[in-house]
Chains A and B, each alone.
Chain A
Amino acid sequence: MNKALFATTAVAGIGIRQFKRGQSPMSERTALVHAIVDACAEAGLDPADVDGFVSYGDDKNEPVRLMPELGTKELCWSQAVFGGGGGGIAAAFGSAAAAILTGQASAVIVFRALVQGHSGRLSAAVMAHHLNDMMIAAGVMAPAQVCAMRAMRLFEHHGVPTSTAEEFVKACYYHGARNPDAVAYGQTFDHAQYAASRMIAEPFHLFDCSRENDGAGAVLLVSAERARDLRKPPVYLLGVTQGTEKGWGDLAENDVDYASAGFASVVRRLWRQTDLTPADIDCAQIYENFSAQGVASLIDHGFCGYEDAAEFVRMENLIAPGGKLPINTAGGNTAQGFIHGIGIALESVRQLRGESANPVPGARTCLLAGGPGSPTVSSAIFGSAAAFG
């Protein structure tokens, strides 16, 4: 176990503003400032005392520009995780914790803001990060197509049934339909709708693809000691790993473990770092840009394998309160909303505070997995005080 990192920092506050895509009534920066002020208000901490900021995924909001509206006294830590997809979401917490634990900052906001009128379509931004003439020549213009080709290999070559993708999506909609803050609140979703939805890029139907939303989310991380003096019950960061290993990366579809979500080395280090195993995880927020990549994330993290994926990835196993591993309990990127994944980080916190719309009784640990299929990915484990006695 990495004792320096295990439960030595904690989330003290969260804030989010989410709108329909292209319909934000406020600017990207204003939405972000709202989210940060809300996160600080939860904690009972003056926003002016936030001295660090970390984002990921081509976020355009350079923290120094937030200072006039937050009243920031001192900016000590200002970073973004490399990588154009959502692979940096958990890694951002690692950066924030590194700053706090080494005394380089004391109150760090992890954020992601995205308002289409300001930053354009998310899918276009992600693709611009990678696009080159090799892809253009093959008609590959969107993340959906790249992930579809990986999904095809997962299904056709490795024999994982396509039912797993549908079951994953159904679990997301089950939770989203029961979450008043979700885009899919109150909606029904069944096999007939899934099967009838238009084809995007085989094997992906429309419902295999995440949404895009306008908005901003913010998570306030402080030392565990400081968090215990603030208003909300601390949600501790137990471990976090990021990156990739040889044979994976921005390799023009030459990745070795091609149909995976790219987590092999990140997961290996995560279990070693925390002394935890998949059996210790009570619920999980699995970044799903596309359904098959969510399934591949479950496989990569060791919750199941190619052989028993069909048995494990069934809706009843994946929903609160009674599933073996409730996932995306707010609805995930698919049914809650998609501000480049920051929503699933917030749900990790809500779930461990007992504030989720779909509570997992007695949940002590929550996995946050970011950016399946991205050249670099990251995972984190959060825990309540009960997670470590």
Chain B
Amino acid sequence: MAHSSIEADAPYWAALDEGRLVMPRCGHCGTWHWPAVARCGECGNWGVEWHDVAPEGTVFTWTRTWHPFGGTEGIGTPFVTLVVSIDGAGGKRLMGLLDGDDAGIAIGAKVKGVVGQTRFGDRAVPSFHWHLAN
């Protein structure tokens, strides 16, 4: 399903389709924003700029889901969801799934992301999948 081109986060999804991570930053005061905004509430500037950012960060929090909540069938339980502070975007946090070995998962762990997909019903939602660094 295409993401609406008029929503504030449209550049995020467009870049994801190209395998890149972009995050929005105010062109006037430099504040990083997430969720995406059309206007910077810090300084009132309407000029939000999108920057390429490395999909690297630090685990802010996480959970391992064991209950098969409706919609997660395509992922399969158990699975680990992360909130990742993005190093190159002022620590703004993105949610994502952890792939691979999860034995070292902890708040503060370093992770790297690759572009992938998450199955949701009969949809494939583009997403970053994270791996523990080291």
Q: Are A142 and B107 in contact (CB under 8 A)?
A: no
Note all chain A residues with C-beta closer than 8 A to B126. Answer: 137
Q: Nearest CB to that of A123 among chain B residues?
A: B69
Q: Are B63 and A202 in contact (CB under 8 A)?
A: yes
Contacting residue for B67 out of A135, A138, A200, CB 8 A? A200
Least CB distance, A204 to chain B, in whole angstroms: 8
Q: Are B69 and A145 in contact (CB under 8 A)?
A: yes
- Is B65 located at the chain interface by the 8 A CB criterion? yes
Partner-contacting stretch, out of A46-54, A92-100, A150-158, A347-355: A150-158
Q: Nearest CB to that of A150 among chain B residues?
A: B61
- Is A134 located at the chain interface by the 8 A CB criterion? yes
Q: Nearest CB to that of B32 among chain A residues?
A: A254
Q: Are B107 and A252 in contact (CB under 8 A)?
A: no
- Mask: chain B, 57-96; 1 = CB below 8 Å from A; 0 = not: 0001111111101111001000101110000000011111
Note all chain B residues with C-beta closer than 8 A to A258. Answer: 60-61
Q: Are B72 and A149 in contact (CB under 8 A)?
A: no
With A252-B93, A254-B35 as contacts: A139 and B65 at CB distance below 8 Å? yes
Q: Are A144 and B67 in contact (CB under 8 A)?
A: yes
- Is A387 located at the chain interface by the 8 A CB criterion? no
Contacting residue for A149 out of B63, B69, B125, B127, CB 8 A? B63
- Inter-chain CA distance A150–B128, complex, in Å, is 21
Contacting residue for A201 out of B3, B64, B118, CB 8 A? B64
Q: Nearest CB to that of B106 among chain A residues?
A: A156
Least CB distance, B16 to chain A, in whole angstroms: 9
Q: Are B95 and A138 in contact (CB under 8 A)?
A: yes
- Inter-chain CA distance A152–B107, complex, in Å, is 9
Q: Are A139 and B72 in contact (CB under 8 A)?
A: yes
- Is B120 located at the chain interface by the 8 A CB criterion? yes
Per the CB 8 Å criterion, the residue count for chain A at the interface is: 32
Note all chain B residues with C-beta closer than 8 A to A64. Answer: none
Q: Are A252 and B63 in contact (CB under 8 A)?
A: no
Note all chain A residues with C-beta closer than 8 A to B22. Answer: none
Note all chain B residues with C-beta closer than 8 A to A142. Answer: 67, 69
Q: Nearest CB to that of A134 among chain B residues?
A: B95
- Is A199 located at the chain interface by the 8 A CB criterion? yes
Q: Are B63 and A152 in contact (CB under 8 A)?
A: yes
Least CB distance, B49 to chain A, in whole angstroms: 19
- Is A251 located at the chain interface by the 8 A CB criterion? yes
Contacting residue for A148 out of B63, B97, B127, CB 8 A? B63
Which B residues have a C-beta under 8 Å from some C-beta of A?
Answer: 3, 13, 34-35, 60-67, 69-72, 75, 79, 81-83, 92-97, 106-107, 118, 120, 123, 125-128
* Cβ contacts A to B, 6 pairs, < 8 Å: A133-B125, A137-B95, A139-B118, A150-B61, A152-B61, A153-B60
- Interface pairs A-B: 9 shortest CB-CB: A137-B127, A138-B95, A148-B63, A153-B61, A141-B71, A199-B66, A141-B69, A202-B64, A200-B67
Which A residues have a C-beta under 8 Å from some C-beta of B?
Answer: 124, 133-142, 144-145, 148-150, 152-153, 156-157, 198-203, 250-254, 258
Beyond the given pairs A138-B82, A198-B67, A201-B66, 4 more chain A to chain B contacts, judged by CB atoms under 8 angstroms and listed by A's residue number, are: A149-B83, A152-B107, A202-B63, A252-B34
